[in-house]
């Protein structure tokens, strides 16, 4: 176990990693900068010479152990998570510290639950995958919308993104996922994940005003199909993406995000509209904010803060809505997003 205020950030020099480092500092934590590329670490450290720098590689367990030594927790921001998650989790288990990541890769998150659930529970360890915009936020919103329901028939998570300029990490993760799926797509139906080759439908989604109805890609499946069913009994979980954002992220020439404010955020705005249905009753939760990568930082850091303070509901591998008080967690993010829950 390490200092209560020291948090290792693996992939600290990446786009999201930089937001996480800044957020940790804002919250009074001391980040340890870690990652595979020594030159990028040095460049990042040059902007804040007081921070500890520890180069580490996922194929070198000893280097990971050194990176996590003395830390109270680790946040993994380095994709593709299909490559990095398991080695960093193993290092966290050896160090006896909590692990949080920002993985949006569906299969990587499935692997985390499958491979580490029993070991983490037996050790009393805490592992929270997908603690980010995709996977974490949707799960928290769905859990909050459910309220006193213990089950629902359907959950729909519609992403109203004004645009989506992917980072280099997003492109690398997408390439890794595509290689793993062998041309297939994935969805969650009848209580299970299934691969398919069906064309994705386009439909109109009635986003709340002032956005209003927008064309979306149906079954644009994100990590919510792993996090939500991990603890909620909902046999149909579907995610949707605005057509413009889907085109952006798939186009090879879309530029990376460009900062437009002092916090380094891009001009991208988002509206996440969650609808859960049980019988003839519908409940809804809506979140609005700016920059999906930037907002992943307060999500991950708030998670670490609550874990270290003991404000958790379970141990083992757990998604955000399972381990945290979802409404309270979302209220804690009021500086970063607006929230509306209708029950």
Sign for the CA dihedral angle at 15, 18, 19, 21 comes to positive
| Full set of structural domains in the chain with CATH | 6-132+296-327 (3.40.50.720), 134-292+334-342 (3.30.360)
Q: What is the pLDDT of residue 1?
A: 45
71 to 54, 64, 234: CA distances (angstroms): 12, 12, 37
Query: Can you list the alpha helix ranges (DSSP code H) found in 126-285?
Result: 138-146, 168-181, 224-227, 243-250
Q: What is the pLDDT of residue 2?
A: 53
* Residue 304 contacts residue 75 (beta carbons within 8 Å): yes
Question: Would you give the distance in Å from CA 164 to the centre of its chain?
Answer: 16
Q: What is the pLDDT along the chain (343 residues), one digit of tens a residue?
A: 456 799 999 999 999 999 999 999 999 999 999 999 999 999 999 988 889 999 999 999 999 999 999 999 999 999 999 999 999 999 999 999 999 999 999 999 999 999 999 999 999 999 999 999 999 999 999 999 999 999 999 999 999 999 999 999 999 999 888 888 888 999 999 999 999 999 999 999 999 999 999 999 999 999 999 999 999 999 999 999 999 999 999 999 999 999 999 999 999 999 999 999 999 999 999 999 999 999 999 999 999 999 999 999 999 999 999 999 999 999 999 999 999 998 8
Q: Which residues contact 57 (CB under 8 A, 6 or more apart)?
A: 36, 63, 64
């Amino acid at each position: 176990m390490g200092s209560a205020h020291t948090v290792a950030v693996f992939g600290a020099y990446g786009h999201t990693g930089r937001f996480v480092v800044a957020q940790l500092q804002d919250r009074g934590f001391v980040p340890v900068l870690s990652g595979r590329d020594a030159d990028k670490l040095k460049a990042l450290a040059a902007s804040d010479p007081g921070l500890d720098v520890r180069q580490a590689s996922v194929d070198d367990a000893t280097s990971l152990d050194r990176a996590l030594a003395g830390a109270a927790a680790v946040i993994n921001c380095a994709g593709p998570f299909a490559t990095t998650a398991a080695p960093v989790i193993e290092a966290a288990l050896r160090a006896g510290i909590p692990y949080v990541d920002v993985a949006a890769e569906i299969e990587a998150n499935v692997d985390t639950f499958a491979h580490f659930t029993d070991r983490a529970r037996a050790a009393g360890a805490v592992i929270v995958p997908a603690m980010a915009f995709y996977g974490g936020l949707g799960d928290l919103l769905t859990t909050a919308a459910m309220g006193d329901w213990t089950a629902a028939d359907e959950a729909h998570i519609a992403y109203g993104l004004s645009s989506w300029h992917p980072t280099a990490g997003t492109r690398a993760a997408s390439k890794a996922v595509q290689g793993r799926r062998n041309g297939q797509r994935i969805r969650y139906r009848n209580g299970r994940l299934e691969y398919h080759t069906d064309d994705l439908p386009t439909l109109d989604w009635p986003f709340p005003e002032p956005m209003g109805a927008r064309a979306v890609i149906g079954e644009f499946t994100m990590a919510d199909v792993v996090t939500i069913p991990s603890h909620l009994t909902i046999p149909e979980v579907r995610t949707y993406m605005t057509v413009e954002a889907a085109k952006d992220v798939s186009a090879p020439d879309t530029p990376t995000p460009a900062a437009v404010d002092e916090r380094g955020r891009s001009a991208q705005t988002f509206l996440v509209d969650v609808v859960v249905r049980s019988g003839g009753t519908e409940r809804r939760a809506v979140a609005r904010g700016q920059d999906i990568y930037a907002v992943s930082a307060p999500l991950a850091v708030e998670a670490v803060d609550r874990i270290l303070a003991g404000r958790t509901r379970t141990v083992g591998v757990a998604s955000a809505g399972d381990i945290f008080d979802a409404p309270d967690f979302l209220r804690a993010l009021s500086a970063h997003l607006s929230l509306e829950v209708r029950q």
